[in-house]
Structure formats: C-alpha cells, structure tokens
Structure 1
C-alpha cells in the first residue's frame, strides 16, 4: 500500500501554497483502489473544496478511450488497422501534405505519397498536427479561416498533413478521425458508441462529452498560469452542441471513472465483470507500433495553451495504439514498457502492467506541461511506487 500520508503531504502542500488550485489523485492495482486524495479548491474564485468525485475536462486522456472503442470494432472485423482509411472516411482518401508557403504566403500543398491507415492515426504517424505545436498550422488556419479543433466543427478536420504518412511521429488531430471511423462503421454517434460499449459496462457513469446538471455541480473550473506564476480562473467549456464529438479530446470525467478504464487495461481487457477487449488486443495496444521512429519534443507555437513538452528528455520513447511507452524505468519508479498520456489542462495517467498499478492525477490549469503540476504528478507517482516497494513489489497473479 502506498503511504497515503506521504502523497497527501505533497499534494496538500502544493494546493495550500496555491501552486496548484486543486487536485484529485487516485491509484489502483487491477483489483483495488490503493490511494485516493482530493486537495485544494475546485475553483479559486469559489469556496467549494475539491472532492474525489469532482468532474474534470480530461482532454487528450479521451484518446485512449476512443482507441479502445475502435479496437473493439477491429476485433469484430468492421475496421482494419492497415487498410487505407479512405475506404471508411472518404475525406481521408487523398491527403495533401503542407510543404510551407510561397512568397505571397499561399500554402504549398502536394499529394501524400502513401495512404493513411487506422494504425497510422492511432500512433500519430499519419501526418496530422495540432496548431499549438506547429507554427505552419497556425499560419495555415489564419490563411484559410478554418476553425481550430476545439470548436468541434467538421471544418476543423479539413487540414492538410505535415509529412507523408508513416514518416515521422507528430502529435495531432489523428484520434478525432479514429472517432469518425468508429461512427462510420458502428452506425452510432461517438458519444452513444462509447457509452454503450465502454462507459456503461465499466460503470463509468461520470464520463461524457456533454455535461449533465449533476456533473455541472461538481465541475472543476479552469485556471490560467500567469507569467509571474500566479493562477487566475478563466472561462472554459467544451462545445456542448458539437458538430462532431471530439474523440481526441472532448470528454469530461472523474478520477474514479478513469481509474476503472486503466484497471480494464491492467486486467487485459476485463473490467467490472465484462470482457471489453480480448487480452491479445490489449497486449497489441501496449506494443511499440512506430518502429524505428521515436516520440520527439513538442515545441509550443501557442504559449497560452501549452509549454514545450519534453517528458523524460534523455529517454527513447515509443508509441503504442494511443499510448506513450517509456523504454526505460523512470526516476519515479515506473517500469520500462509502461503506458501513459495526459490532457491539455494538466491531467495525467500511467498504466504499469509489470507492477500491476495505474494512477490518475487531475488538475485544471493551462498551459499544458506546467512545471508545478508536473511536480505534483511526480510526487504522487513516487509515493505510489514507494508504497509498492514497501509491500514487496508485485502481488502474485
């Protein structure tokens, strides 16, 4: 068991010092929650204390869930990892690569050399980017008047790709197309598909694209970190009447709900009494699918949204089917070959199958990869592993 006092101390100190507004953290093995804590305020402009059932925008933590839904359809033969996705999504049948801009500032486009596949989308090697890490895409959106992805307007998906499919890892809007593929072959909107095939079976009753009245009462406010380090509440809400449900970042959830999803991965596709994915599918998702390519530093082009992102800069990092994979043990104790990712407002999770442990830590702070939020995450994770070490490592299977 992790020493909850040690973790409590780290998180409480950060919240009391107003280094972070508020935080919920939870860790679990495949069969039990081993840590839970909530500290600070839901919103610095209001009196409400943070509670374990507080509702957060989990942003890109949505990606693993959308991908799991798509992998159910791969198992059923309705989707295939390596067939050109243009057969399912005609908009992706003939992708164009942005090669920069001419002297007049007009975009220079050329046809891609290879088709886009579901596997390339799931691994962020299809060529799509996010404008917040691409100055060229910032310029392209300004030139064309296309909306940004967070508007959840279909036109936001009409961007070119930045490189030929399969040639480099670049984080981007890929999983939004995975969500579109789920809709195309299941005949359901993404919200309904995920609800029926993942959320209801797993008992994730607080996870949704649209906020219910009850969730709204427990909603955590968004905060912006100023240049001087201070925190200020800012208005923020994902589009509640979206043209498309954003499979790459649209979900709201709680720590308890997301832990259920991570436990399903730890338990090889089984959760809450249901086998939602085959064991071999989960094993496949956890493998390196980018070969010799590596995950690279993400350099901010929109400082209000994100800092530069360079997790474990000295380590080679790979990508599975929607997961970051660390190839060596981390300073906090996470085993090599573990799975992880994050959400833009400083929400983070990891899944360590070899130690049978997963953790989720949720805050609502912009920009992403905030130093003090990352310190809170590291302190939480270290505490979890220190407790596991004291308990003699992994329990017998």
Structure 2
C-alpha cells in the first residue's frame, strides 16, 4: 500500500512526541489486511514497546459484537426485535421515566407510555443513558446509592429511563440489556455465548471479558491526560469477577481480532470459513432503524472520562443495529452509509461496505474523544483512503 510509510510516519511521530501513549492500527478489505502498525509504548512508565498483538480494553466496541450475537438469536426465532422485551427480561417489564427531582431532591418517576423493545435497546432509543453524559442520571445514582455500570453489578441496571421508549436517541446502557437478552434466550452466560458463536468461529482467540494470563502479558495500560496535556498511566480494569458481563463495554481484545469481526460484516456474515450471520441480517444491521430521529452532540458531565462528543457536525447521522451511520461522505473519505463506533478509552473502528474496507485503531487513554487521539484516527483513516484511491488509479471526488 503506497500510503503505508505515510501512516507509519504519522503514528510513529504522534507516539514519539507522547501526544498519545501508543497505538495499534489495522485496515483490511473483505479478503486481505492492507495495513497494520504498532507504535509507542504499552505503558509510558515502562519500556515495553507496543506490539500488534497488544491487548486493549475495547469498551463500547463491544456493543456491535453483542448485538451481532443477539441477531443470531433473532434469526433463530429465539429473540424478537419488536416484541416487548419485558416478557423475557422482567426488570424491563414496567419501565419508569425520570422526570426530574422534587424540592427535597427525591426523584420524580412515572410509568413509561410504551413497552421497551429489543430494537430500541439496539438503537439507543429505549430511554436509557450513561451517567457520564446525563446529569440527571448521575444525580439519581448518587441519591439512590445505585452503583454505576462499570461496577458490573446487577443493581447498576435498575435505573429509570430518561424519555419514553422510541421518542429520542440517547446513548446509554441499552446494550447491557441486549447481553442479558442473549443470556435469557440462549441459556448461556454472555462470555460463553460469544466465545462459542462469535469468537471461536471467527478466530478471535484474543478477545474476551476475562483477561487471561497470556492476554495480561500483552495488556496495555490505561493513561489519563492531565490538565497540562501530559499523559500518565492510571490504574483501571473492568471487574474480572462480574455479576454480569457488560455487553455494552466489557471486552478486551486485539486490533487483529476486531478487524476479523469487521471483515465478517464486509463479507455479509462470513468469516474464517464460517457463516455466523445471514447476509440479509448483516444488511438489516446496516440500515437506519431510528427513522427521523438523529444523533446530535453528546455533552459531558464527567470531563475526567469524556469530552463532549460531536461527530461530523455537518453530516446527518443515523443509527443501525448497533452502528453509527454517516449519511454523507466524510472529510477522511469514508463513504456515505458506512458503519462505525468507538470505545471510551479512544478505540475506534469503521466499516465501509461501498469501498470494501474497514479499519480499527486502538489507543488507551482518557478522556474519550481526546483531540490528539481523534487527529491520529483521522490521519490514519485518510491515509487508508489515499492508498485505495492511488491503487485504483483515481482520486475520489
């Protein structure tokens, strides 16, 4: 790939300047890996160089995988996209909407006007939120002593919704319930289900909720950016003996494993010689499922963990079954109708079926949507498209 040296140079310079701690990036067509590189350090306080098999917390990149697992059960008739999910998950049978707080600071709740469906959970339109982006949710957790989702305690899932199901898009803990639905429909714990039906068939042998001894040897440290802009390692690990596996954000894995998942999507459900989803299911996952609703700016209430998130402010954005969909071509070259998402510690992926290309870039630093991390991702993605355009003998318009 002609732009490989350019991408290498960008990733090396950014890492050596300690603008990011370290990075692994990989891109592929449905058939072949067309770029891979690893630069910087796994831990800025140690000498270990980043390697292509380094293990990252991929956070919300877990969501697409959990949803794909659930869609296998939809294909089998064990799950339904539009039946009330409360029939399967009693905790969701009578959702309560939070309408603010009274003069004493007590939460004001009312019954939801509609039941919650699996489709709404997959599209973040069920009404659930994340406390790092919703001040009322944070206030509710504090007032009631409800643990946050990272505790991986079942009590963390006993929260009200912020709006009636189906009325608005708000990013939240929805996919953790999709994971619970997978468990209820399959009779297996989520880790075992995904291992048997997604990871093993696709050859994703370095991905899981539990960090094995072998994975731990290659584990990348979490870093935080201080007020002066400097990065330092911080202690951070997802609960390794959880009450529930966080289908919305609990996975650890490698870039090489995740690119296999994206290639399965490019190849209409096929990967590693196995058909894990039907072509029509993959097509369905890539369509807009939120109608006229759109995705706007996500404003932080916890700057330590996340910045404000404003993806492509000039482009209308839709949501598929666990993917962000850009409705116009992006400045980096991503085709309209591509699929993407990210993880809290600055891990990102995109899947562009029109150009038959996907990319994964993994860093490990907070807060999310870090300026330097986003620049690095944009430069990597631009380099991949430049290479594709050069290879086809044409510059895309």
Report the TM-score, using the length of structure 2 for normalisation. Answer: 0.99
Partner of 1:133, secondary structure, is coil
How far does residue 3 in structure 1 lie from its aligned partner after superposition?
1.4
Number of the residue aligned with 1:389:
389
Number of the residue aligned with 1:62:
62
Question: Against the structure 1 CA distance between its residues 393 and 250, is the aligned structure 2 distance closer, same or farther, given a 3 Å change threshold?
Answer: farther
Partner of 2:132, secondary structure, is helix
Number of the residue aligned with 1:48:
48
Deviation per CA, 1:118-170: give whole Å up to 9, x if none: 00000000000000000001100000000000010000000000000000000
The count of aligned residue pairs is 394
- Is structure 2 residue 353 aligned with structure 1 residue 353? yes
Structure 1 segments (4+ residues) deviating >6 Å = none
How far does residue 8 in structure 1 lie from its aligned partner after superposition?
0.5
- Spell out the pairing of 1:203-242 with structure 2 (5 A cutoff): 203-242=203-242
| Structure 2 unaligned regions, length at least 5 | none
Number of the residue aligned with 2:134:
134
Number of the residue aligned with 2:292:
292
Q: Does the aligned pair in 2 maintain the 1:2–1:35 contact within 8 Å?
A: no
Number of the residue aligned with 1:92:
92
RMSD (Å) for aligned C-alpha atoms: 0.8
| Structure 1 unaligned regions, length at least 5 | none
CA distance, structure 2, for counterparts of residue 54 and residue 339 of structure 1: 25
Partner of 2:25, secondary structure, is strand
CA distance, structure 1, for counterparts of residue 280 and residue 15 of structure 2: 41
Pick which of 224-233 and 20-29 moved more.
224-233
Partner of 1:70, secondary structure, is helix
Deviation per CA, 1:211-257: give whole Å up to 9, x if none: 00010000000000011111010001110000000000000000000
How far does residue 314 in structure 1 lie from its aligned partner after superposition?
1.1
Report the TM-score, using the length of structure 1 for normalisation. Answer: 0.99
Number of the residue aligned with 2:162:
162
Partner of 2:34, secondary structure, is strand
Question: Against the structure 1 CA distance between its residues 85 and 177, is the aligned structure 2 distance closer, same or farther, given a 3 Å change threshold?
Answer: same
Deviation per CA, 1:346-384: give whole Å up to 9, x if none: 000000000000000000000000000000000000000
How far does residue 296 in structure 1 lie from its aligned partner after superposition?
1.5
Number of the residue aligned with 2:325:
325
Deviation per CA, 1:48-93: give whole Å up to 9, x if none: 0000000000000000000000000000000000000001101000
How far does residue 2 in structure 1 lie from its aligned partner after superposition?
5.0
Number of the residue aligned with 2:281:
281
Q: Does the aligned pair in 2 maintain the 1:2–1:384 contact within 8 Å?
A: no
Number of the residue aligned with 1:153:
153
